[in-house]
Structure 1
Amino acid sequence: MHRKFVIVLSSIQLWCMAVSGACAQAQAPNSDTLKVNIKQIEEQFLKNNLTLIAEKYNIDNAEAQIITAKLFANPDFNFQNGILNDTHDAYKNQSVGISQLFTTAGKRNKNIRLAQIGVDQARYQFFDLLRTLRFTVRTDFYTIYYNQQSATVYDLEIGSLKKTLTSFKEQFAKGNIAQKEVLRIQSQLYSLQAEYNGLVGGIDATESELKMLIKASPQSYIVPLVDPGFANTISATSVPYSKLLDSAYVNRYDLKNARITVDYNKTNLALQKATAVPDVTFSLGYDKYGSFNNNYVGGGIEFNLPVFNRNQGGIKQARIAIDQSKVQLENQQNQVAMDLATSYKEALRSEELYNSFDPAFKSDFTHLINEVYKNYLLRNIGLLEFIDFYDSFKTNTIQFNNIQLNRITSLEQLNYVTGTPFFNQN
């Protein structure tokens, strides 16, 4: 009778494993499921990301500053009408004047140049933000994919153990099995459920960040579509290190911004020196009765004398700003080289570890665990050995998913550090 129970239970458990695996693939409502590949997710990001849209307005603001810098100063106009004097024609005593400020030493052109550099700075800041957010989008995408693959393993094992626990409780009540087997299965189930909840919580947090970046519905459930063999088509060694470094120096927008900041400060120094040169105001006036003769017309010129204030402080500050920006540029270049060296080493280590795994490992291990499960139900192996095999299956599958994720993330990090999509998979 015990033999018959084992055979029936074995069939039930194998069926449950298949059903659990199928259920794991359909855990979200179809109406809220967003199935996208990496290319589609990037398209939605570029189209919908509100942070990028807001940052782009800074470029428009900077361009408006060029318009302002090109404008000439408005002329000044004054008019006076007599109110009281000794003549009967006091109200006819009128005078008018007009004056115009002219800047000297090329101040207007220098201000225009500063505004133009400001536009370049705004553009570089926008594209550097784009580089950072795109890295987040892509790494979030792959993180969700591989963690969902790991969650499927938990779904399968938890679903199977739930069915096993129900059957064992029934058999324990009939006296067919010992209570310790029921408690051991129950303990294993609770442990798996706790681990699963932690994994799903991490997926939810990453998914929430990705949905925010692409402006997706909060109720949507993202299912990344990834070709399982795509990881074999890219390699960190496919691009020489020297090319990676040259590309980083040329294409990193934060470096471009650091370089142009030096130009900005040099132009500002020229402007501060020009500020020491007085501007000139020309004026023209007409006075009907108030001057030494009637209908007086006169012209004038006005400028300050640079005796005390020759903008010494502004010139000194501008020189200091140049030296400071040069140091900051050098520091930024050193940081780029350091980041690339670290990221490249990490990519090589991740790739070496990934290549050390046998491609047939996953399928062989899956076949093995199925055989172990059958042998446990037939009592060819004990409970502890069965649990140990199951833990090994889960641990190794999740580790392999993490290894694949770390490898892809390290390649995305190289894209990010170099500012060039050398290792993109579309």
Structure 2
Amino acid sequence: MEHAGPSLTLDAAIATALSQNAQMRIATEAIGERAAEARQASFLPNPELGLEVENVFGSGPYSGVDEADITLGVSQLIETGGKRESQKRLFRLSELAATAERNAVERILREAVTHAFNELLAAQREVTTASAAAENIGTLVPALRRRFERGASSEADLNRGLLALELAEIRVTAREAELRTAQQTLLALWSENVYRPLHAEGSFAVPAVQLPRLDELEARLDSHPAVLGGQETVSARRAAFDLEKANAVPDVTLGAGVRRFSGTDESALLFSVSIPLTVFDRNQGNIDAASRRIVQADLDAQQTRVELARDLQQAYQTYQSRCPEAARLGSSIVPASEKTSATIREGYLAGRFGVLELLDALQTSTESRLQETQALLACVNALASIETMTGLPASADAAEGDEQ
């Protein structure tokens, strides 16, 4: 089994993922982006400085610049209809939605890393189980060969033993490939694309956890970041709708300046006011689109809540079924199969059992151990999903059993 340097704990795996995962970093940058947009929304429009020269380079008395009229003015856009406050509110709510989304990404990442870590523990255990099975069969082959050479056993029995050894070695190879896949899965969650062997070390046993009732767990979903993020997104979409309605109100541009009449050597002040006439464009399309985005966001928030409830129910059912299965396998079935295998092995060497009984006992022992590992994996992963979805405290220290 591939083993890499210092052992990797679950806490270390999660910490590495939180600091390196690209999706996590993207979600964090999105918060900064929304904060920058909110800051930008607080700035007033810049005034405009304009210079205008008239009556130059024409004909007659206007052929030069002696009769030029020079105007220097400044204008300022005055936003009306509450646009500025609507815009600032929109970006504040967008920042809150981005924060909730970042927290949701963290929840999902924690769950994924915990699952990957547990799968690595399971893969390591299965490699050990498969290797031990192959070693057990391998130690029997010389005895089978000696019995065949003495005429105490048939060639068919020897061939059965050799075939069982080949199958056991194939199983070891397959489990080692699954181990490498589990390592690569965890590395991918760290956003690392170069393979390196990892060795997980932690509790891999039936958790000693008494879960609350399912309805109590479902009530906790209301505080899930994805649900809160959906609500914040709906609020942001409503703010965007208010902004589009405010955009339908025309802004006013005020101007003031001074004009110099070169022909008479006189000057005068001037003032201007301009207001767009909302004859054709009253922002109807954008208002309608913003209204529909509210409906979309609300439906999306509802669907998120439904999907979380579905996932929680599935995880709860898995926990309730696979944990007792793993406990039963570990407490009675696996020990019984291993004891039976040892008894039949001794009896075979003493001539009381045949090779078929021996190989069948070894196969049963190996399969029961592998089945226990898969049941344990489903059990601990279901608990991890329940904890991350509901915000229950992690129960890594509440498990009882062996350490891998």
TM-score normalised per structure 2 = 0.88
CA distance in 2, matches of 1:378, 1:291: 130
Alignment of 1:17-166 (within 5 A): 27-28=1-2, 32-81=4-53, 83-84=56-57, 86=61, 90=66, 93-166=69-142
Secondary structure at the aligned position of 1:41 is classed as helix
Could you tell me whether the CA contact under 8 Å between 1:75 and 1:100 is conserved in 2? yes
Secondary structure of 1:152 counterpart: helix
- Could you list the per-position Cα deviations for residues 53-100 of structure 1 after superposition, in whole angstroms to 9, with x for gaps in the alignment? 233212111211112211111111112346435267538753211111
2-structure distance, mates of 1:211, 1:279: 54
Matches for 1:386-401 after TM superposition, within 5 Å: 386-401=358-373
Partner-residue secondary structure (3-state), 2:261: coil
Q: Secondary structure of 2:71's match?
A: strand
- Determine the structure 2 residue equivalent to 1:22: none
CA distance in 1, matches of 2:12, 2:296: 43
**SS of 1:301's equivalent?**
strand
Instruction: Check conservation: 1:33, 1:220, Cα contact below 8 A.
Output: no
**Preserved contact between residue 76 and residue 100 of structure 1 (Cα < 8 Å):** yes
2:395 aligns to what SS in structure 1? coil
Distance 2:310 2:207 in 1: 28
Q: 1:231 aligns with which of 174, 189, 206?
A: 206
Contact 2:74 2:256 in 1 (8 A): yes
User: 2: CA distance between counterparts of 1:132 and 1:209?
Assistant: 15
Distance 2:295 2:27 in 1: 29
* AA matched with 1:162: G
Change (3 A) 1:332 1:72: same
Q: For 2:110 and 2:373, how far apart are their aligned partners in 1?
A: 22
Q: How does 1:8-407 map to 2 (within 5 A)?
A: 27-28=1-2, 32-81=4-53, 83-84=56-57, 86=61, 90=66, 93-166=69-142, 168-169=144-145, 172=148, 177-214=153-190, 218=194, 220-227=196-203, 231-235=206-210, 238-250=211-223, 252-289=224-261, 294-357=266-329, 359-407=331-379
Q: Is the 1:81–1:91 contact (alpha carbons within 8 Å) kept by the matching residues of 2?
A: no
Assess, with a 3 A threshold, how the Cα gap between structure 1 residues 80 and 100 changes in structure 2: closer, same or farther.
same
The alignment's C-alpha RMSD in Å is 2.6
Counterpart secondary structure, 1:36: coil
CA distance in 1, matches of 2:147, 2:314: 57
Per-residue CA deviation, residues 23-68 of structure 1 (Å, 9 max, x unaligned), is xxxx335xx3341222222222223323322332121112111122
The residue type equivalent to 1:319 in the other structure is S
What SS class does the counterpart of residue 359 from structure 1 fall into? helix
Query: What number of residue pairs does the alignment pair up?
Result: 393
In 2, Cα distance between equivalents of 1:166 and 1:53: 58
Q: Is the 8 A contact 1:34 1:220 kept in 2?
A: no
Mean alpha-carbon deviation: is it higher for 72-81 or for 291-300?
Answer: 291-300
The 8 Å contact of residues 344 and 358 in structure 2, kept in 1 or not, is answered as yes
Q: Does 1:415 align with 2:348?
A: no
* Cα 1:47–1:327 shift into 2, 3 Å: closer
How far did residue 216 of structure 1 move?
6.6
Deviation at 1:209, TM superposition (A): 1.1
Could you tell me which runs of 5 or more consecutive residues in structure 1 were left unpaired when the two chains were aligned: 1-26
CA gap of 1:358–1:210, structure 2 versus 1, over 3 A, is closer
Structure-2 separation of matches of 1:91 and 1:197: 96
Residue type at the aligned position of 2:219: D
Contact 2:207 2:395 in 1 (8 A): no
Which secondary structure state, in structure 2, belongs to the residue aligned with residue 221 of structure 1? Answer: coil
Distance 2:299 2:387 in 1: 26
Q: Which moved more, 1:362-371 or 1:68-77?
A: 362-371
Residue 425 of structure 1 corresponds to which residue in structure 2?
A: 396
Cα contact 2:78–2:253 (8 A) shared by 1: yes
AA in 1 matched with 2:395: N
* CA 345–28 in structure 1, closer or farther in 2 if over 3 Å, else same: closer
Q: Distance in 2 between matches of 1:305 and 1:92?
A: 33
Partner secondary structure for residue 226 of structure 1: coil
- How far the C-alpha of 1:212 sits from its partner, in A, is 2.6
**8 Å Cα contact 1:282/1:302 also seen in 2:** yes
TM-score when scaled to structure 1? 0.84
Q: C-alpha distance in 2, partners of 1:272/1:213?
A: 40
Change in Cα spacing, 1:180 to 1:297, as seen in structure 2 (3 Å) is: same
Q: Which residue of 1 aligns with 2:400?
A: none
- Give the counterpart letter for 1:392 in structure 2: T
Q: What CA distance in whole angstroms lies between the structure 1 residues aligned with 2:191 and 2:45?
A: 45
